[in-house]
Structure 1
């Protein structure tokens, strides 16, 4: 079993992308899920998750890295859909009920692996559990949640994944299922215990628990000014000339919304032919 408390990560993403509530919930669930999928501390995996539904959010993009960092965005951050019963955010309607979940695993031990499965509900947790069962043949229970205040701030966010080992007994599986049903929504537990303390013991009550890994996680992008400069250098000559018509060129990272500015003088120097050194 693995758990992830992602309140700070989700709030960082909300602020960076100016997310509306249902977009915060969808991206927050996806980032939490990707962190859990990448939580193989032995193989040091990076995981890219794409949820491509037919809802107004467009594609949900998330990358989770083996150093316990994550980044992500949605195509359309300003989406509003009718609330479900009891005033709950309808993530499924925003993501869409038709489409696919695509997961790519990058590991140092084997070739990169990409697999897909159809979206089941658009609620993310059920979709990831179905993906693991059909594409990786791993029976899993996943619970993901994001609670957003009326003022759009992230109150709590997090989740957990429980996977059955090949030698798991029916009695043990039934015990865990009962514990999860009694637990209820993970956000309710995190409201009472914001750091997730005791969650593993609650889900695995009646079983022996041994902690093997406990590390902080954070929102972090891989973008940089140098990387964007490298992209600019790959442009065609006509495109480079078009950029030089403006005083300043602004480039924006999709994943973190960081903005990079290049003055005309900087671009002229970058694009200038470099002579051979005699």
Structure 2
């Protein structure tokens, strides 16, 4: 099954819903970044939530989500333009912890909870919108739920999960979000709480072959799907973009690179691609300045 996201409405329960499968794109990220299992789970959960959040925006604006909970995984960053493409990385990919009582991947331990979840939306205005909340658990889903409640005043259920096999390959990744509309009643809230409580883990459902639509249909029999979007792990870096970035460091620093190293090498954190600039190319950049 390819990765994709769906958006829908449940008019009878006064809520809007989102669900996604991100198994294949997380496997690409795992290989690109040599992620260990718990790091895969943390980044996979974050990418699923970020992709669904981006689908809530009216326009395909650039959105960056940054999590730093003070845990051993370090800073986590995801970036998307709402077009179905996402890029992301964790500072320390070699992280693996499990909970002693359940054996499940201990994402909260890896991420930590002494920090913040920050969302930056570039809506084409003079300054980007920035919202930030303290992390609650570091388990990602709980933290996004808290963000929606505090920063956007939208009560939300966020369920995200990742399943990794014994050889570290990604078996399943994805999630769903339920957001209450202003017309929601106490009966609607009670129904949603019970539906979520009785729902199997989302990673298990995806591993069993359930599509995003079928996951939502397990929760709501009358869900109306209004939009569908394919999803990919894709970096938009290029040598041309990095050339423009080199312009910003100024002539003196570029001349120093030429004199000391006769060139330079730049590394993209999002996809681990290396870009080499020769002495001649650096001189051309200086001429452009």
| TM-score (ref. length: structure 1) | 0.91
Structure 2 matches for 1:1-278, cutoff 5 A?
1-40=17-56, 42-107=58-123, 112-193=128-209, 195-205=211-221, 208-244=222-258, 245-272=260-287
Asked if the contact 2:263–2:282 (Cα under 8 Å) also holds between the matched residues in 1, the reply is: no
Counterpart Cα distance in 2 of 1:204 and 1:273: 59
Mean Cα displacement is larger for which, 216-225 or 170-179?
170-179
Is there any run of 5+ residues in structure 1 with no aligned partner, and where? none
| C-alpha deviation, 1:173, in angstroms | 2.3
Number of equivalences: 272
| C-alpha deviation, 1:52, in angstroms | 1.4
Asked if the contact 1:44–1:108 (Cα under 8 Å) also holds between the matched residues in 2, the reply is: no
CA 1:172 to 1:109, structure 2 compared with 1: closer, same or farther past 3 Å? Answer: farther
| TM-score (ref. length: structure 2) | 0.88
- CA offsets per residue over residues 190-245 of structure 1, 9 Å max, x none? 1112543411111113xx32111011011122211101111122223332123223
Asked if the contact 2:96–2:105 (Cα under 8 Å) also holds between the matched residues in 1, the reply is: no
Is there any run of 5+ residues in structure 2 with no aligned partner, and where? 1-16
Is the partner of 1:157 in helix, strand or coil? strand
| C-alpha deviation, 1:108, in angstroms | 5.5
- CA offsets per residue over residues 57-98 of structure 1, 9 Å max, x none? 111101122211111111111123344433211000110021
Asked if the contact 1:58–1:95 (Cα under 8 Å) also holds between the matched residues in 2, the reply is: yes
Counterpart Cα distance in 2 of 1:69 and 1:120: 28
Pairwise CA RMSD? 2.0
Counterpart Cα distance in 2 of 1:215 and 1:269: 41
Stretches of 4+ aligned residues off by more than 6 angstroms:
none
Counterpart Cα distance in 2 of 1:112 and 1:26: 26
Is the partner of 2:224 in helix, strand or coil? coil
CA 1:36 to 1:252, structure 2 compared with 1: closer, same or farther past 3 Å? Answer: same
| C-alpha deviation, 1:250, in angstroms | 1.5
The structure that is strand-richer by fraction is 2
Counterpart Cα distance in 1 of 2:262 and 2:271: 25
CA 1:246 to 1:202, structure 2 compared with 1: closer, same or farther past 3 Å? Answer: same
Mean Cα displacement is larger for which, 141-150 or 244-253?
244-253
